[in-house]
Amino acid sequence: MPTKEELIHRWDNFLTKIENRFNESLEQAEAACFEQLHETDFDYYTVFRSWQGIKAQIQLLIQKIHETWHQKVEPEMRYLGDFWTDESYKSSELSDRLTSDLEAFQRTLEGKLSLLFYNHVMAKTDEHIPCSQCNAMVAINMAMFRAQYLTCAYCNTVNTYEPTTQFHQIGWNIIDNIAAHNTKAYFEAMETASEALRLQRKPVAQHYWNQYKKAYFQYYEAYFKERIKYNAEAADRYEDDMKRKTKEYNDYEQIQRN
């Protein structure tokens, strides 16, 4: 029968191994995704599906923490005494931290892959098309990722531009991912303020709400403005986007205060 010290040491070693495997898995996943992006001629959505499969395996690794604690470690520790209560928090602490790290990693990975995809597609997309009537060159709006109707400055003929599939895909979630990646510091500040708010007992002091509200709107203002830099049509949605986020914030605060 192992001693208390042996059980604790074995449990700590297990958690360290899980965390090491987690970090190694993220490093391997990033390298594999970048490699596949180039191998598939920048097929972003094929790479994203591959990442979802890798992510599922990493989530199973995280789940193993609780499974091992409840099925093996806790019963052995209970048998020797009540010190297991001091050890039980370790499983939740590591599981929560790795889950948070996984989401942060995905956010960064999506941003990096999307930026690579964006630069690749923009570099190979012609910025002009020949007029169907007089053959003069007509400029394409490179910040509008859909079919465009372009009037020739010389003969006034209206030309239809049909983008490639990849150029069209930029307007889906590629730009959203880039904007999120470029405003990462604002997002992290919002998450920090949110966590500080969550840890408070009710009634929560007003300055915690003020800090969270400030960080919340700083992030979304920065995010939506960053998106406009890449997508001209996003400017038309800015006011509606901010109204939506304002309502979401007000609803959240009202629910949490009651």
Q: What is the pLDDT along the chain (258 residues), one digit of tens a residue?
A: 789 999 999 999 999 999 999 999 999 999 999 999 999 999 999 999 999 999 999 999 999 999 999 999 999 999 998 898 889 999 999 999 999 999 999 999 999 999 999 999 999 999 999 999 999 999 999 999 999 999 999 999 999 999 999 999 999 999 999 999 999 999 999 999 999 999 998 899 999 999 999 999 999 999 999 999 999 999 999 999 999 999 999 999 999 988
Per-residue pLDDT at 125:
95
* C-beta separation of 52 from 85 below 8 A: no
Query: Given this model, what pLDDT does residue 95 score?
Result: 97
How far does the chain reach from its first CA to its final CA, in angstroms?
51
What are the φ and ψ backbone dihedral angles of 150, each rounded to 5 degrees?
-115, 125
Domain borders along the chain are: 4-124, 126-163, 183-257
pLDDT attached to residue 258: 83
State phi, psi for 206 to the nearest 5 degrees: -60, -35
User: Rounded to an integer, what distance in angstroms lies between the CA atom of residue 59 and that of residue 105?
Assistant: 13
Here the tokens at position 190 are 């919002």
User: How far, in Å, CA of 241 to CA of 217, rounded?
Assistant: 11
Supply the pLDDT for residue 23: 98
Give the pLDDT of residue 86. 87
Tell me the pTM: 0.91
Distance of CA 68 to the CA centre of its chain: 29
How large is the greatest C-alpha to C-alpha distance in the chain, in angstroms? 92
